[in-house]
Amino acid sequence: MSPSSAPVLSPASIARFDDSLGRAALRGGLVGLEKEALRVGPDGLVAATAHPPELGSALTHPAITTDFSEALLELVTPALASPDEVLGVLDDLHRFVYRHIGEERLWAASMPCVLRGGGHIPLARYGSSNAARMKTVYRRGLGNRYGRVMQIIAGVHFNYSVDDALWPRLAGRRVADGTESEQHFRSEQYMGMVRNLQRFGWLVPYLFGASPAVCRSFVQDAATDLQDFDAKTLYYPYATSLRMGDIGYQNRQEEGTGMKACYDSLDAYIRSLTWAIETPCPQYESIGIKVGGRYEQLNDRVLQIENEYYSSVRPKQVTDWMERPTLALRRRGVRYVELRSVDVNAYHPLGIEPGQMSFLKLLMLYALLVDSPRIDATERRAIDANLVLAAHRGREPGLSLRRGGTEIRLRDWALHLLDGVAPLAELLDADGGDRYVRSLEAQRYKVLTPDATPSARMLEEMRTKGEGFAEFSRRLTEQHRDEFLTRPPAAERESWLTALVEQSRQQTRAIEAADDIDFDEFLRRYFAQSESHPVDLPAPV
């Protein structure tokens, strides 16, 4: 496939899986969600309270933690075979949280409102251990580099790994005859998925973007070209996802302080991130590292750690205790892919709904199965520009994107992609049911009818009800809260979550008790680890 042509699933590709076991392999795999939600007071202000102790330790709780701020909750589901079960877990997590946050609420939208400046946004804290301190210092560094306001934008991360039974059908003799290891083959196939999700990743904010407007208090740049929706709300008339546009959190490549990862291969990706973690950045040197006895950032490199690199999609591997993510990828390859471009669906209490889950899985599987050439510098610029265009102007009539050096209307490209996905949706539904075909047709309708997209619905509803973005979001926040408070989590999940709270506290105490070095030495050992030298920080018992 050349970058200028629409990716096509060949009849041979479809035939490879067109039997009962093949179709089962396509439908299989694991899905997980990470859903961020900002705790706010009844007035919509960012909560100044600490992470509720009744929710357990944010350092070690596997399902309820925090992101940048004490107020920014992150709810993490296990990876499960059934997307419906994943949503069930996420539902119970919300219900459990609401039983322990009193009069506070979980903000219904991606973009925060009623802000009083970055100084009123509390950094997340995880306890007194070195590992906890490192997490807080990293967040202080993010605030110093990019501003705290940008760091409390919420999103939904969709994690997907394919069924193990799928790989032998894809690999053929390449693995069977020993010409390529199974781990290397899987990793490179996943990297192909990542490249394709970047190529047509603009489709996600178009279809699911739910941040077409922001509160005026969010925008720090007085010279912004955002338009007035009302006295307190700014917007672009055809925006889909300002969260994914250039007013959101991005690494500052345009200022000479950022970088672009290379996705040619897993090795190239690891090397590009490693370079950024090892290369000093003059602008960040001016911040200082340890100032007046307090760490202002972990280091003065282009990236403090791998997680700082902003990307709409990431190859991931589960890390061992204090293991750097790039080393986990080097040692064990790619385990799953994380799609990070999904806005919180303000219309759904969970922030994501079943049809959306089905389509995202379908899109990621399609991205794996079609050809995925390397991305050159010209295409990289087009990918970045297309994402911003779709985020800022995605519903604009006649809007064109760049594909293969030529212009193509967003509408036409979207329909080509959905046509390409259609045979896969039909194959997945061939043994009964129609969830994938229905999810595909729902997205086709939004391409043909832009007013049906979440972003258009939000703006129209705000106009009809005479609401600004804050009033709209607060109304939905209250509706969702009322729904979650109507009943507790399922009894079995309530017991599970209660047990996790105590387990997380015990694990955090063990980590704190195991510390036998100062923080300076802890950081030195952390950054000294390499592929041949495991981290010299024994895991607590």
Neighbours of 535 (CB within 10 A): 18
Q: How far apart are the first and last CA of the chain?
A: 51
Q: What is the predicted pLDDT for the residue at 470?
A: 96
Distance between CA atoms of residues 369 and 22, nearest Å: 13
Q: Where are the beta strands (DSSP E) in 77-190?
A: 105-106, 156-161
The tally of domains found in the chain comes to: 1
- Name 381's Cβ contacts closer than 8 Å, sequence gap at least 6: none
Which pLDDT score is estimated for 174? 63
**343-377: pLDDT as tens digits:** 999 999 999 999 999 999 999 999 999 999 999 99
Q: Tell me if 537 is assigned to some domain.
A: no
What does the alpha-carbon distance between residue 489 and residue 453 come to, in Å, rounded to a whole number? Answer: 31
In the DSSP assignment, the letter for residue 195 is: H
Q: What is the dihedral of CA 285, 270, 29, 183, to 10 degrees?
A: -160
In a domain, 465, yes or no: yes
Q: CB of 23 within 8 A of CB of 17?
A: yes
In a domain, 275, yes or no: yes
Pick from 118, 162, 153, 89: nearest CA to 367: 162
pLDDT given at position 497: 97
The whole-number pLDDT of residue 252 equals: 45
Q: Are 511 and 499 in contact (CB under 8 A)?
A: no
Euclidean distance between CA atoms 195 and 190, whole angstroms: 9
Q: Which domain holds residue 74?
A: 11-523
Q: Is residue 5 domain-resident?
A: no
Written as six digits, the tokens of 89 are 């877990």
Is 362 within 8 Å of 188 (Cβ atoms)? Answer: no
Question: Is 533 contained in some domain?
Answer: no
The C-alpha atoms of residue 74 and residue 34 are separated, in whole angstroms, by 6
What does the block give as tokens for 491? 């009894």
**CB-based contact 354:33 (threshold 8 Å):** no
Give the pLDDT confidence score for residue 53 in this predicted structure: 97
Q: Which residue has the tokens 């040197």?
A: 285
**Among residues 157, 161, 192, which one has the least CA distance to residue 81?**
161
Question: Are the C-beta atoms of 191 and 333 separated by less than 8 Å?
Answer: no
- Distances in Å between the Cα of 304 and the Cα atoms of 140, 151, 157, 341 are 11, 15, 22, 22
Q: What is the structure's pLDDT at 176?
A: 58
Nearest by Cα to 126 from 190, 80, 58: 58
Residue 4 lies in a domain: no
| Residue keyed to tokens 């700082």 | 308
Distance CA 61, CA 264 (A): 35
3-state SS of 488-504 is CCCHHHHHHHHHHHHHH
The CATH number of residue 290's host domain is 3.30.590.20
Give the residue among 142, 190, 204, 184 at the shortest CA–CA distance from 29: 190
Helix (H) or strand (E) segment spanning residue 269: helix 266-278
Is residue 287 packed enough to be buried (19+ CB in 10 Å), middle (13-18) or exposed (0-12)? middle
Q: What is the pTM of this model?
A: 0.95
Give domain status of residue 311, yes or no: yes
**What is the β-pairing status of strands 105-106 and 227-230?**
unpaired
With respect to residue 192, please indicate whether it lies within any of the assigned structural domains: yes
In the chain, which residues have pLDDT < 70? 1-6, 173-179, 221-222, 248-258
- Burial grade of 260 (CB within 10 A; 0-12, 13-18, 19 or more): middle
Q: Which string of DSSP letters, residue by residue, matches 438-480?
A: HHHHHHHHHHH-GGGSHHHHHHHHHHHHT--HHHHHHHHHHHH
Strand-strand pairing, 313-316 and 406-409 = unpaired
Alpha carbons 354 and 338: distance in angstroms, whole number: 18
Question: How far, in Å, CA of 399 to CA of 510, rounded?
Answer: 56
